[in-house]
A and B are shown apart, each in its own frame.
Chain A
Amino acid sequence: DVKVTQSSRYLVKRTGEKVFLECVQDMDHENMFWYRQDPGLGLRLIYFSYDVKMKEKGDIPEGYSVSREKKERFSLILESASTNQTSMYLCASSFLDGSPYNEQFFGPGTRLTVL
């Protein structure tokens, strides 16, 4: 059974803290993604990676960075958390040359609250 796991389901942090969200996939996927999901706004892409040590900015990269040291692991870093980064964070993965519709497999999400 394919699986994408995220390190925490719920996280509460204070403004200014450095926050690490980790994602691991066991499907040997090349692509990995970080999204945030907010009511009325849908999924917005923060960063994605198509290979180890490679990263590309998505639509809303400001205030975030990422790290991909191993193929199966993709970390999202909030350098200095702010209240407007309170959100649901979803990690996803897919094959680089997969189906034309490029199905993405999602983790269960991390609900981050920044106080």
Chain B
Amino acid sequence: QKEVEQDPGPLSVPEGAIVSLNCTYSNSAFQYFMWYRQYSRKGPELLMYTYSSGNKEDGRFTAQVDKSSKYISLFIRDSQPSDSATYLCAMSDNNDMRFGAGTRLTVKP
């Protein structure tokens, strides 16, 4: 079993849809949870991070962490074609960082 599981998709939605991206993990020592966004032919860039459990909102993006279920989510409201990218979850216990495989998202106009 992989330490971090993420459905690679691809996921295709119409513009304006709510998108839900998810990861599960097995290492209960992870404390920091991140989402990176990777546009085509670019390196990943940090989109959001959260510490421990709870929600964090930044504009149209909301990150959720449920440590009891070892499950994290990224929600995108009012999705735009410019959100089309691969989204990678990442998590860290301050020593090791582990990345998910990435979910490829396409938002169609």
Chain A interface (Cβ < 8 Å from any Cβ of B): 4, 9, 35, 39-43, 90, 92, 100-109
Across-interface contacts of A109 in B (CB, < 8 A): 41-43
Closest beta carbon of chain B to A29's beta carbon, Å:
14
Across-interface contacts of A35 in B (CB, < 8 A): 99
Q: Which of A9, A102, A108, A109 has the most CB of B within 10 A?
A: A102
Q: Which 5 A-B pairs have the closest CB atoms?
A: A106-B43, A42-B101, A43-B99, A101-B49, A101-B32
- Nearest residue, chain B, Cβ from A106: B43
Q: Are the CB atoms of A40 and B94 closer together than 8 Å?
A: no
Q: Are the CB atoms of B99 and A42 closer together than 8 Å?
A: yes
Give B40-55 as 1s and 0s: 1 = Cβ < 8 Å from A's Cβ atoms: 0111111001010000
Query: Could you say which interface size class chain B belongs to?
Result: 20 to 34
- Nearest residue, chain A, Cβ from B34: A101
| Chain A contact surface mostly | loop
- Nearest residue, chain B, Cβ from A41: B101
| Chain B contact surface mostly | strand
- Nearest residue, chain B, Cβ from A58: B96
Supposing A100-B32, A100-B51, A101-B34 touch, asked if A42 and B43 sit within 8 A by C-beta, the answer is: no
Tell me whether B73 is interfacial, beta carbon within 8 Å.
Answer: no
Tell me whether B88 is interfacial, beta carbon within 8 Å.
Answer: yes
Closest beta carbon of chain B to A24's beta carbon, Å:
14
Supposing A101-B32, A102-B97, A104-B97 touch, asked if A42 and B45 sit within 8 A by C-beta, the answer is: no
Across-interface contacts of B51 in A (CB, < 8 A): 100-101
Across-interface contacts of A4 in B (CB, < 8 A): 43
- Nearest residue, chain B, Cβ from A39: B8
Supposing A40-B8, A92-B43, A107-B43 touch, asked if A102 and B92 sit within 8 A by C-beta, the answer is: yes
Supposing A42-B102, A101-B34, A101-B51 touch, asked if A106 and B44 sit within 8 A by C-beta, the answer is: yes
Find B46's partner among A9, A40, A103, A107 (CB 8 Å cutoff): A103
A–B pairs, 29, beta carbons within 8 Å: A40-B8, A40-B101, A41-B101, A42-B4, A42-B88, A42-B99, A42-B100, A42-B101, A43-B44, A43-B99, A92-B43, A100-B32, A100-B51, A101-B32, A101-B34, A101-B92, A102-B32, A102-B94, A103-B46, A104-B97, A105-B45, A106-B43, A106-B44, A106-B45, A108-B41, A108-B42, A109-B41, A109-B42, A109-B43
